[in-house]
């Protein structure tokens, strides 16, 4: 792992992934390197156990690169994230019925920066297993309601898309954003799937909370998010 991180481009890739996932094309554009060279660097990082790759649940042609921060050794090597100022953190998924709700509730326990959750195509209500999962972990979600991202997201928010479909539908319609490729527990609809999603989300929330510090907040007009034509609901 130390040898893999000894190359400047690979170290920069890991820094880029320290708070969120990214596709290979996003990484190539960010660092201005050819795709074949990027593939080499990703292969070295993957062989060293620092990253993993997952296929998008939305656009199945895409893959996302994920830093394996659940591994204690990896977490110890990477260290704490760089500080970021944000007046509010908004967690976004497609239906606002599971992952984004869990993320916002978990955030409230670890950081004083304001938070909200929303969906690009919100469901009528929160999923019952979300409420049950929250209850098992001390999160109060029984009275939570779903909301439309178009009525929630503001221009100065840090938007964290916790599902592939929501992230892929955003396009250039938001300012600062992160992507967490968390598998959809509703698709499997078991307690075990919701527990896996919860553990993934909480680990990411706790790391992001280390980086976020309050920023002076001005009440801006609501930023309307347009649906990308052809995006998966």
pTM: 0.88
Please give the Cα distance from 26 to 181 (Å, whole number): 14
Sign of CA dihedral 8, 12, 18, 24: negative
First and final C-alpha spacing in the chain = 39
Task: Answer for the pair 180, 20: CB distance below 8 angstroms, yes or no.
Answer: yes
**What pLDDT sits at residue 172?**
55
**What pLDDT sits at residue 229?**
40
Please give the Cα distance from 99 to 76 (Å, whole number): 27
Nearest CA-CA partner of 220 in 94, 90, 80: 90
Give the gyration radius of the chain's Cα atoms.
17
Task: Answer for the pair 205, 110: CB distance below 8 angstroms, yes or no.
Answer: yes
**What pLDDT sits at residue 79?**
83
Q: Hey, what domains does the chain have and what are their CATH numbers?
A: 2-78 (1.10.10.10), 84-214 (3.40.50.2300)
The vertex-200 CA angle with 199 and 206, nearest 5°, equals 85
Q: What 3-state class would DSSP assign to 9?
A: helix
Strand pairing class (88-93; 114-119): parallel
Q: Find the Cα–Cα–Cα–Cα dihedral 172, 173, 174, 180, rounded to 10°.
A: -70
Digit-by-digit pLDDT tens for the chain (233 residues) are 999 999 999 999 999 999 999 999 999 999 999 999 999 999 999 999 999 999 999 998 999 999 999 899 998 898 888 888 899 999 999 999 999 999 999 999 999 999 999 999 999 999 999 999 999 999 999 999 999 999 999 999 999 999 999 999 886 556 689 999 999 999 999 999 999 999 999 999 999 999 998 876 444 444 444 444 444 43
**What pLDDT sits at residue 175?**
63
């Amino acid at each position: 792992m130390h040898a893999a991180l000894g190359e400047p481009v690979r170290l920069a890739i890991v820094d880029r992934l320290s708070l969120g996932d990214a596709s290979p094309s996003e990484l190539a554009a960010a660092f201005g390197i050819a795709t074949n060279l990027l593939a080499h660097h990703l292969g070295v990082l993957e062989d060293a156990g620092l990253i993993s790759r997952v296929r998008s649940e939305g656009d199945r042609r895409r893959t996302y690169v994920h830093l394996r921060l659940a591994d204690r050794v990896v977490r110890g090597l990477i260290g704490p994230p760089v500080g970021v100022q944000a007046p509010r953190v908004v967690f976004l998924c497609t239906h606002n019925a599971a992952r984004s709700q869990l993320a916002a509730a978990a955030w409230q326990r670890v950081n004083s920066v304001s938070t909200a959750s929303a969906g690009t195509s919100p469901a009528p209500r929160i999923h019952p297993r979300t409420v049950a999962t929250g209850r098992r972990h001390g999160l109060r979600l029984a009275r939570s309601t779903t909301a439309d991202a178009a009525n929630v997201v503001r221009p100065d928010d840090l938007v964290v898309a916790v599902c592939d479909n929501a992230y892929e539908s955003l396009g250039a319609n938001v300012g600062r954003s992160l992507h967490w490729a968390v598998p959809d527990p509703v698709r499997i609809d078991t307690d075990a799937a919701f527990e896996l999603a919860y553990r993934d989300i909480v680990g990411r929330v706790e790391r992001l909370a280390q980086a976020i510090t309050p920023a002076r907040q001005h009440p801006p007009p609501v930023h309307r998010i347009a649906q990308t034509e052809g995006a998966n609901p």
